[in-house]
Structure 1
């Protein structure tokens, strides 16, 4: 016979052989004894814990030809010797149909099943359908099966095995008995592996078997599959395979937890270099950062549980509930207890949270090594932090402020470590002052925010309790001030408020509403240093070249606006800065080097050159320059179209005088002309 894997070879054939599912097996055996047979069962739970196995055993018990209580079958267990039990065990029974629902999930397959269910069984008492991975069946197929599930023939029994019972419609679940399977405990898996190793003639120590049981993660099938693989790769001595823990770790790609214990000891000692060195050794050995982070998360979880359960460094108190919480071997329980003794419960919780976040980030980061090392360094930095409660305990409280509180033992121990943050806080002297009520670190800030910036009457501020001095204030160094030069320039102060000009014309001319020109105010001359005078202050009137450039810009943009399909070029040149330098008319646009020839195309450039020739500037060479985009606030106002209301308002002499005197800007123009 061909080789059978251990998971199939040692598959249980009796209810008593199923490990870790006593709540299911006892219930089913009692139902068989009392004759309370349901027509539908749902078996749900973790992978590889015996759902399909128990469905087969139940089918054997239902179709067993020997009656319960007979000499061949004293209990509800199947006899395993009759023809029906033998056929079901071998998988060739006619009346027990096992269907893979992941493949036969459609409505057509379920309709065929429903039609076949009407016929009587060929030989046995019941016709049994075992639907594996039942959650894969579509909703339409489940709806086609509803009536059969609710009122099935007396000879039909449905058994559905699934890992996701929530995906099965509630209407189906309400018509079946639902059994929720538990993950197999580490002790049960370890016992099964120990017995199988003896029957297979394999020499395996407890450390190796414990590692295999932990790798199963509650699944008996997974543990047996890993054991099968380990036996195949194990060295043979005297004709017997020998399983070793180091060989199993290398096979699974894991590292011993002693490495993580060493990392936590370095974190406790505030030794960042040692933490990075250990991480570098692990990564250089070819270990995956994601796998290391995953294993470190599991180890930190065990440390948190060991701290909560009160497991000591010698493994004491690791029985009872503590042993149930920690599904690891005795050696690993002692190791977790030693690491947990170095930290508090809050610190271990923060460590676990940081490593969980690091493990999540490694799934979509490019440089996994850097993020893994950063996560380990965060653990060292978290160790340097002081809880807020311990810092606030240093301040005086109530009437007993004459004696400051003594720091706790853990705070003193943590400050003793080379932590600059802790030394800076704890070394500050505390001035004992008796102040009532007790000092609150939020009181000063609250009073400041309540009366800040208001004209209301300010309250009398009581002297608050002094805050501990953190550092001695440094006297400011004297600054040498250079005396002003004797030469001065008298400049009259500008008006205090910008005034927008206002012009009102009789219709049909456009009207511009603005505030009348204010009376001139004689301001006292202000003396400033000559070195402080800027070129802008020396000449407030625009030069003739800038006026000519602005006029040429207006002419060019109007020509582009009137041209066909050149609106984008007109907008770009309207936002540009025009200047005349020698014989060149330079246009500094906001467009990039790539976008400039696309927006201001040759046709648009031809229109601009023609407009410049008509304006008498044909001798100037047009130079278009790309540049960075300016902010919206710095953009120049676009030139108005010729003949529009805004253009006529701009041509009015009063408006132009107001713009010249006050550098005013016309934002809104209301056209009151009739018929417009």
Structure 2
């Protein structure tokens, strides 16, 4: 049986151009290589799964490449993958690139061993690169032992530090590094990347399903690829559907919120309570439901203005449904509903009867539209009366 390789490893970027959602980082690094403005120490910071270690490896591979390629123009610097240095890197046999996991090698002795290695020049190639992952795990004594070497390394030595917690690194280390802050990857970028991988794997994937995976990943591409592999395994075939995704990830379907909002707009309290009961019987938590309802009202308010519709991180099909329901809902109803749902969210954990607490909020919401309509009629009548008085005067 052929060994399975997870997508996060199988499709790990090997060039700057293949890195997803970090163009501000890759452009800077390519220009630094082209103009020979390489710092002696880099610090890559950002949340998990956004490409810090990947970019560190690509940078290490590129600066030692003996035949740099200009793929998209003179500034588009990429490794050739054909020279001896690139081949040794691709087979993990390069003597010029050293990786250290600071989570398990965080003592003074470990750093002293590293400093000893730095003294020896590379046998082949121009640079020796030291990638230290999770660098915030180093002890204060280890940081202090590292200071002098980090500030004045030999001309052939480059250090690339990576961390998810920049605030834990002492200021004297930060001042000696060129700092790069990685962003969370946008939902649209993750969904597009998953679509490309699905095509390479000959898997048919629904756009809504990929968007849902991207949202669940919370900006981490590695998490998105892990969820993608999970859904592929769950579906037992070459097709990923929206229904399979919500079933496996135990996510409340968009349709429930659309149905509940329709019932609220129709002042149909019974239908609202029955839908909430159905949601609870499926095993969903009442608190997650009310948080999702707040998010739904927020999305409808965003759709009230075409200029802000781009803030919705959903597929085009779902975006059209939001736009349709937003046209049916008044801004007064949505704002009042958001206030009621937010108050329910705030007091949920302190409530003794949490189901009743949510049901009471839904009962209030089911009468909101009628109250808003009555208020608008009263205001209209008052304005009309005021105009008549002005005309008489």
SS of the aligned residue for 2:284 comes to coil
Alpha-carbon distance in 2 for matches of 1:228, 1:124:
38
User: Match for residue 217 of structure 1?
Assistant: 218
Q: What is residue 250 of structure 2 aligned with on the other side? A: 253
1:332 and 2:318 correspond? yes
In the other structure, the counterpart of 2:359 is 373
Q: Is the 8 A contact 2:231 2:245 kept in 1?
A: yes
Where 1:97 maps in the other structure, the secondary structure is strand
Bigger mean CA offset, 246-255 vs 197-206:
197-206
Alpha-carbon distance in 2 for matches of 1:209, 1:276? 31
Q: What do residues 37-57 of structure 1 show as CA deviations (whole Å, max 9, x unaligned)?
A: 111112222322211111110
Question: Contact (CA 8 Å) 2:39, 2:158: kept in 1 or not?
Answer: yes
Q: 1:518-597 alignment to 2 at 5 Å?
A: none
| Worse-matched range after superposition: 252-261 or 363-372 | 363-372
Q: Which runs of 5+ in 2 are unaligned?
A: none
Q: How has the CA–CA distance of structure 1 residues 373 and 96 changed in structure 2, closer, same or farther, with 3 Å as cutoff?
A: farther
Gaps of 5+ in 1: 312-316, 407-431, 433-676
Structure number with the bigger relative contact order (C-alpha 8 A, sep ≥ 6) is 2
Q: How does 1:284-433 map to 2 (within 5 A)?
A: 284-307=281-304, 310-311=305-306, 322-323=309-310, 325-345=311-331, 347-352=333-338, 354-356=340-342, 358-359=344-345, 362=348, 368-380=354-366, 403-404=385-386
Contact in 2 for aligned 1:394/1:405 (Cα 8 Å): no
* Distance 1:5-1:37 versus aligned 2 partners, 3 A rule: same
Other structure's SS at 2:78 match:
coil
Residue 43 of structure 2 contacts residue 160 of structure 2 at CA under 8 Å; is this kept in 1? Answer: yes
- Other structure's SS at 1:160 match: strand
2:268 matches 1:271: yes
Distance 1:74-1:45 versus aligned 2 partners, 3 A rule: closer
TM-aligned CA distance change 1:285 to 1:405, over 3 Å: farther
Residues 326 and 333 of structure 1 are in contact (CA less than 8 Å); yes or no, is this contact kept in structure 2?
A: yes
* 1:302, distance to aligned residue in structure 2 (A): 2.2
1:283 Cα deviation after fit: 0.6
Q: C-alpha displacement at 1:79, in angstroms? A: 1.4
Q: What is the deviation of 1:296?
A: 3.1
User: Which structure would you say has the larger Rg?
Assistant: 1
Quote the RMSD (CA, aligned, Å): 3.4
TM-superposition CA deviations, 1:302-342 (whole Å, max 9, x none): 223223xx14xxxxx7xxx642x222101121222233334
Pair 1:262-2:259 in alignment: yes
The within-5 A match list for 1:78-93 is 78-93=79-94
Report how far residue 257 of structure 1 moved.
Answer: 0.7
Q: Which residue of 2 aligns with 1:102?
A: 103
1:254–1:292: 8 Å Cα contact kept in structure 2? Answer: no
TM (norm. structure 2) is 0.84
Shift of 1:282: 0.8
Aligned residue in 2 for 1:646? none
State yes or no: 1:175 paired with 2:161: no
Instruction: Determine the C-alpha separation between the residues in 1 that align with 2:109 and 2:347.
Output: 44
Structure with more of its chain in helix, by fraction: 2
Report if aligned partners of 1:110, 1:141 keep a CA contact under 8 Å in 2. yes
Pick closer, same or farther for the CA change 1:69–1:223 going to 2, 3 Å: closer
Aligned equivalent of 1:280: 277
Contact preservation (8 Å) 2:47, 2:164 = yes
Cα distance change, pair 279–27 in 1 and its aligned pair in 2 (3 A): same
Cα distance in 2 between the residues matched to 1:6 and 1:248: 17
Aligned residue for 1:651? none
Q: How far does residue 154 in structure 1 lie from its aligned partner after superposition?
A: 1.6
Distance 2:70 2:7 in 1: 33
**1:673 aligns to what?**
none
| Counterpart in the other structure of 1:36 | 37
